[in-house]
Structure 1
Amino acid sequence: MSRIGKQPVTVPAGVTLTQTGQEVTVKGSKGELKFTLPDAVSGKLDGAEFTVSPVEGSKTAAAMWGMSRTMVANMIEGVTNGFKKELELRGVGYRAQMKGNTLSMQLGYSHDVDYTPPAGVTIEASKPTLVSVSGIDKQQVGQVAAEIRSFRKPEPYKGKGVRYVGEFVRQKEGKKK
């Protein structure tokens, strides 16, 4: 029994949710998103509430129930407010800047690391050590932020690297004499 899946998703004013078969489309002020419900669950729209229910009592249906409800809720949140992840660059000489649509970063390598975001995701480098990734698709924003972080993950001795704002990196003790 899914505690998350049981809760209905409320559709706020200004957002249009339409369902054709297993495909759910959400339109809002920031854009449009689509999601295809798995075959193990079914969706139902009642006025301003969207409910997801399992088709059969299998483990797969129980797993897909909560996930499907959360995907629809995230789509509604995305087209109304959008999602944003912020990354900070820590280290001597570590900096980022925008060159057109491409993010160019200096991360201690002998070359600059360039990253072009996919369509639907915008990247801003407001400060040389602060990069913000924003968009309407939560999964895509998180994926782009994770790809940027993977260019130079924070190392445990000095803490240098690309990390999420507010992320705690446990520092290890160095060698002792």
Structure 2
Amino acid sequence: MSFKCVKRIPPIPKNEKQRMLWSEAAKEAELRLHLGECMTDEQAIRRLVLWQQWAEPDETAHIFLADRKGFFLKRFCIYGNGVRMRESYVCYLKSEISNLEAAYFFAVHNHADKNTDPSPDDILLTAAIESLTKWLLSGNTEFLGHYITNGFKVIKIDSVLG
């Protein structure tokens, strides 16, 4: 399976003082999310990746839904090592995307093992999430990617289905 695009986003600083500043930025991201700020641009997604790393250091995936203006609608969580999406969860997400009339969605996922190379589970998770776009007949919902972090690096998988 090949990737359409994997981007390496600039690393999170290793210096303790800088990491504290990034921790504050992560807290700010959560606040902005709850205040209803637009969350679909690359900078906002990067803040959410930071929030993910500090809020939940264990392996967790979050799927975010946004409306046509890019504002937060709902967040879904998938927990556990080797994060996978069960078929029942995919069906649940489909109904929520339809009910909320979500225009955008993306995944933010951290690796507790500190590896940023996409694993087979990451590819399967991306494919499962991305397939939701294919399922939506209206074509009005856009998949913005799957962001993976290990606390120092962030990569983005744009597509695995091509």
The TM-score, its normalising length taken from structure 1, stands at: 0.23
Where relative contact order (Cα < 8 A, 6+ residues apart) is larger, the structure is 2
| Higher share of residues assigned strand | 1
